[in-house]
Amino acid sequence: MTSPTRMTLAEARDALAARKISAKELVEAHIAAVEAARPLNAFTFETPEKALEMAEASDARLAKGEAGPLEGIPLGIKDLFCTRDVPSTAASRILENFRPRYESTVTANLWRDGAVLLGKLNMDEFAMGSSNMTSAYGGVENPWRAKGSDKKLVAGGSSGGSAAAVAARCVLGATGTDTGGSIRQPASFTGIVGMKPTYGRCSRWGVIAFASSLDQAGPMARSVRDCAILLRSMAGHDPLDSTSIEQPVPDFEKALTGDIRGLKVGIPKEYRVEGMSEELERLWRQGSNWLQAAGAEIVEISLPHTSYALPTYYIIASAEASSNLARYDGVRYGLRVEGATLEEMYDATRGAGFGHEVKRRILIGTYVLSAGYYDAYYNKARKVRTLIARDFRQAFEKVDVILTPTTPTAAFPMGEKMDDPIAMYLNDVFTVPASLAGQPAISLPAGLSAEGLPLGLQLIGRAFDEETVLRAAGVLEEAAQFSAEPAFIAAA
């Protein structure tokens, strides 16, 4: 049998069902892997005791034949999800030691289906970042290294801890959240699969808010199938989230038929951005060829407002964030730094509690919503957002799925781009449009750069048609045969 940490989630699930391994054995192996991977700084809080308790309960249910779809599967949870009695901090000082007395809907769904919590995963503070360098806990190290280099690389962000933990074989899967690319970009940087479902597919209740109209939880794992399995458990209508949509949750795994004959795949010409590297263009063309070889029809399409997506995104996301983060005021929970007056207490608390990037976004957001600037920025951005959504709507009249690269580059060294927010924001240029339009999108590893680092391709689908996205991704995955491994693997 494969080593427990080397299995995919689907393999582990089958091994558990066949009683080839106990949940306790599986979880113990992963607890050891989490410990071994500490240098990566992927976890903000480990929960080995809780994991063992949950594993024992899983074994009992497995013995009774009452196993859930994720019974005994050890997972990591991004620290943006509130988990009952377990620190949930959004990787921010302002929520230092915050232990909620409630469980987010998405994680509650996972525990309902038998999954096991290994710990909370590092991330960019309040999910604001593309490198995981803005975390109050420090950056997450990418388990990959460039060929012949010892330079530490970023794991991407904001779900960098999730991506690194999955890639280093610490967990069988992880939750991420994606606001403008926060699942897909780190997935691409670490050679794993990450999916942002349709906005409204997963409940946001209990997920610490960054930008409410964009935030969406999604799965991160080592295969398309694993993501399909996780998404089925995570998704579902939640009356506690008014933006969660009442839609049946299909058995996503069943969508992986491998048959995409007749599927129309769009290649948006606007994604061929200036300065795109030769190798990335080649990979993109390769992806399109693979799909064509499997019977898909390739169609050149136009998404004319693509170039406006990035500024639009940074205005809307920052505006919402400036308001969403107002509740961290030192009054009721989290950090409080005393001051002589109320104003001084606010200033001191928020000054000490928030990091630079969070402050930058609060300032941008406050500015774009201010009287006199509202129409020029926020309102204009909202209008452009509807145009971007219309681009996709029109494109999906012609095609079933859209293929693009996930990121303009492979993972970059830790500490780079830190003094150049614009260069940092450019990481999201391919992922942001689908976020603004609410479309489901997946990133999967499709090849290696010349430096030997993973590069991802992105598939974008129609709203609530994750099945087609997953089916096409399954075919790409099969064709790409991505088998390269990172330099660091937690346990052999």
Beta carbons of 104 and 340 less than 8 angstroms apart = no
Contacts (CB under 8 A) with another protein, residues 110-139: none
C-alpha triplet 183, 144, 10: angle, nearest 5°? 55
Q: Given candidates 54, 260, 315, 369, which one binds another protein under the rule CB under 8 A?
A: 369
Q: Which of 182, 188, 244, 322 is catalytic?
A: 182
Q: Which stretch binds another protein (CB under 8 A): 239-247, 249-257, 279-287, 432-440?
A: 239-247
426: number of CA atoms within 13 Å, CB side?
15
In angstroms, what is the minimal distance from the CB of 362 to another protein? 11
23 vs 15: CA distance, rounded Å:
10
Query: Residue 101 or 261: which CB sits closer to another protein?
Result: 101
Query: Residue 342 or 423: which CB sits closer to another protein?
Result: 342
If binding is defined by CB under 8 A, does position 213 make contact with another protein? yes
If binding is defined by CB under 8 A, does position 308 make contact with another protein? no
- For the four alpha carbons of 429, 193, 474 and 68, in that order, the dihedral sign comes to negative
In angstroms, what is the minimal distance from the CB of 492 to another protein? 38
Query: Residue 325 or 472: which CB sits closer to another protein?
Result: 325
Instruction: Based on the residue annotation, tell me whether 223 is a catalytic residue of this protein.
Output: no
If binding is defined by CB under 8 A, does position 45 make contact with another protein? no
Q: Given candidates 15, 110, 136, 207, which one binds another protein under the rule CB under 8 A?
A: 207
The footprint of another protein on this chain (CB under 8 A) covers a number of residues equal to 42
Q: Given candidates 209, 265, 296, 301, which one binds another protein under the rule CB under 8 A?
A: 209
Q: Which of 78, 120, 196, 417 is catalytic?
A: 78
- For the four alpha carbons of 296, 298, 304 and 306, in that order, the dihedral sign comes to positive
If binding is defined by CB under 8 A, does position 363 make contact with another protein? no
CA distances from 179 to 217, 245, 348, 367, 462 (A): 9, 18, 29, 20, 18
Q: Give the burial string for 267-294 (b: 16+ CB within 10 Å, else e).
A: bbebbeeeebeebbeebbebbbebbeeb
Sequence letter at residue 231: L
275 vs 483: CA distance, rounded Å:
28
Is the bond leading into 158 cis (omega within 30 degrees of zero)? yes
Q: Which stretch binds another protein (CB under 8 A): 26-34, 36-44, 207-215, 408-416?
A: 207-215
C-beta atoms surrounding 169 within 10 Å: 26
Contacts (CB under 8 A) with another protein, residues 318-347: 319-320, 322-323, 325-327, 329, 331-333, 342, 346
C-alpha triplet 70, 75, 76: angle, nearest 5°? 155
Q: Which stretch binds another protein (CB under 8 A): 35-43, 317-325, 383-391, 469-477?
A: 317-325
Instruction: Determine whether 317 is exposed, middle or buried from the number of CB atoms within 10 Å of its CB (0-12, 13-18, 19+).
Output: buried
Sequence letter at residue 333: Y
Query: Residue 112 or 327: which CB sits closer to another protein?
Result: 327
In the block, tokens 């920052």 appear at: 318
Q: Given candidates 307, 370, 386, 394, which one binds another protein under the rule CB under 8 A?
A: 370
Beta carbons of 140 and 132 less than 8 angstroms apart = yes
Query: Residue 211 or 446: which CB sits closer to another protein?
Result: 211
- For residue 208, the 8-state DSSP code is P
Query: Residue 78 or 471: which CB sits closer to another protein?
Result: 78
Beta carbons of 252 and 364 less than 8 angstroms apart = no
56 vs 74: CA distance, rounded Å:
12
If binding is defined by CB under 8 A, does position 202 make contact with another protein? no
Instruction: Based on the residue annotation, tell me whether 188 is a catalytic residue of this protein.
Output: no
In angstroms, what is the minimal distance from the CB of 325 to another protein? 8
Contacts (CB under 8 A) with another protein, residues 71-110: 81-82, 88, 90, 95, 98, 100, 102, 104
**Tokens encoding 131:** 């490198």
Q: Which stretch binds another protein (CB under 8 A): 38-46, 147-155, 316-324, 474-482?
A: 316-324
**Tokens encoding 26:** 């599986």
If binding is defined by CB under 8 A, does position 204 make contact with another protein? yes
Q: Given candidates 8, 56, 243, 276, which one binds another protein under the rule CB under 8 A?
A: 243
Sequence letter at residue 388: I
Query: Residue 45 or 374: which CB sits closer to another protein?
Result: 374
Beta bridge partners of 178: 216
Q: Which of 22, 88, 104, 158 is catalytic?
A: 158
Residues 6+ apart with CB under 8 A from 380: 315
If binding is defined by CB under 8 A, does position 292 make contact with another protein? no
Query: Residue 142 or 322: which CB sits closer to another protein?
Result: 322
Query: Residue 84 or 390: which CB sits closer to another protein?
Result: 84
Q: Given candidates 25, 241, 270, 451, which one binds another protein under the rule CB under 8 A?
A: 241
Q: Pick left, alpha or beta for residue 148 (phi over 0 → left; psi -120 to 50 → alpha; otherwise beta).
A: left
Beta carbons of 366 and 320 less than 8 angstroms apart = no
Q: Given candidates 1, 18, 371, 422, which one binds another protein under the rule CB under 8 A?
A: 371
Q: Given candidates 208, 429, 432, 473, which one binds another protein under the rule CB under 8 A?
A: 208
Q: What are phi and psi of 140, to 5 degrees?
A: -105, 135
Residues that bind another protein (CB under 8 A): 81-82, 88, 90, 95, 98, 100, 102, 104, 204-209, 211-213, 239-243, 319-320, 322-323, 325-327, 329, 331-333, 342, 346, 366, 369-371, 374, 378
Q: Catalytic residue positions?
A: 78, 158, 182
